[in-house]
Amino acid sequence: MYDIAVLGGGVVGCFSALRAAELGLRTVLIDERGVFGGASPRSAGVFTVQLDSPIDVKLVAKSIELVKKYTRRSWRETGFLQIGKEYALRESMESLEKCGIEYKLLDSKEILDRWPEFVVEPELMGVYTKSDLSAEPKILGCELREALNEMEVDIVEKVGAVGLDFGSSEVRHVKLSDGSRVSADYYVLAMGSWTSGLLRSANLETETFLLTCFAYRLDLGQELNIPSFSDEYLHTYWRPWGSTLVGGRYDAEFSETPDLSDVQPPSKSLKMSIKLLLRRLKLPSKPILVEHMRGPCSFTSDGMPIFGHVPSLNNAFIIDGLGGYGLMRGPALGYLAVDALIQRHDFDEYRVYSPFRIFKIAKNNK
């Protein structure tokens, strides 16, 4: 019998398990594929506080703090430059101001003075924040596993949750694919794109949908001294790592089930990403594709995450619907979930993320 069982060992589940262990709880982390077996290791690795909503800005700031606390080798502080017309940057500047995060608004000349590699049309501006990260997700996964081991979290891998047994108001145990069961006082559901499938097996229907997202790693032949950046004008994003740039054009396709295949993204997507990159940067040589990333992202119709108790189950908490910004919001949400679940901490500001809005049964019962 555990104090807490965390289902799913992506970025969210790892930080939930770390927080639980930090609080001295007997913790088990269960992952059908293994720690970092889902979307997290396939993500592009951008962490930036330049998001439109103040809640998200605070979450990413907290995530950056947590990633720095638990890992050392998987990230670099590159800063982040958001390029666009001034009106398109306004929302994110307002959020930064509300959260007390310092930024610099640079005109095109100031951008070029700092980073001559950029090509910036005179009508464009840039918002620069200093402490944003470029992170290598696969290394992050290895470092989080080391931290989980150090914190004595039990890790159950290659065995997945196939069902939940619950009474009138509580989960009693989780059924696993090898026929065994795990019991705990509390449960965190952090299976990303697979969470809705497990809930469906328990007759709980959620209104989420899946996209398969693509990104690329390009080798430039030499290291550039530039920040990570997004381009509101050309609709692309990139982060530097050594001589490579990782990112792309926010390409995605709808899918029925989580797609972990290694199928190449459509070649026109790659070509367009490179074409747009060449409009924004003067590169020393032609970029060469090193690898593509392809993975499932779970979305809600209002674009906001799901964070809260599973309706009518007092001891189960769900974190899902993180979309294309889950690597950067996941650490904070996973970590805070445990405080909310165990200590009944009322995170008032996250009410907008309430699971009630996406559970069909809960809505009907309301």
Ligand X SMILES: Cc1cc2nc3c(=O)[nH]c(=O)nc-3n(C[C@H](O)[C@H](O)[C@H](O)COP(=O)(O)OP(=O)(O)OC[C@H]3O[C@@H](n4cnc5c(N)ncnc54)[C@H](O)[C@@H]3O)c2cc1C
7 scored as a contact of ligand X (CB under 6 A): yes
Of 30, 36, 44, the closest CA to residue 10 belongs to: 36
12 scored as a contact of ligand X (CB under 6 A): yes
Where do we find the tokens 């907290």?
62
Of 41-49, 77-85, 106-114, 126-134, the window that binds ligand X (rule: CB under 6 A) is 41-49
Residues 289-308 that bind ligand X (CB under 6 A): 293, 295, 297
Q: Which of 80, 325, 350, 353 binds ligand X (CB under 6 A)?
A: 325
110 vs 154 by CB, closer to ligand X: 154
| Contacts with ligand X, 102-141, as mask; x by CB under 6 A | ----------------------------------------
Collapse the DSSP code of 148 into the 3-class scheme (helix H, G, I; strand E, B; otherwise coil) and give the result. Answer: helix
Name the minimum Å distance from CB 289 to ligand X: 14
Query: What is the number of the residue whose Cβ is closest to ligand X?
Result: 326
Name the minimum Å distance from CB 264 to ligand X: 13
Taking phi over 0 as left and psi of -120 to 50 as alpha, with beta for the rest, 135 belongs to beta
42 vs 145 by CB, closer to ligand X: 42
Query: The dihedral of CA 135, 137, 138, 142: what is its sign?
Result: positive
Name the minimum Å distance from CB 296 to ligand X: 7
33 scored as a contact of ligand X (CB under 6 A): yes
For residue 172, the tally of other CB atoms under 10 A from its CB is 13
Nearest-angstrom CA–CA distance, 263 and 265: 6
Give the helix ranges, DSSP H, for the chain. 11-22, 54-70, 86-98, 108-114, 137-150, 195-201, 267-280, 326-342, 360-365
Name the minimum Å distance from CB 20 to ligand X: 15
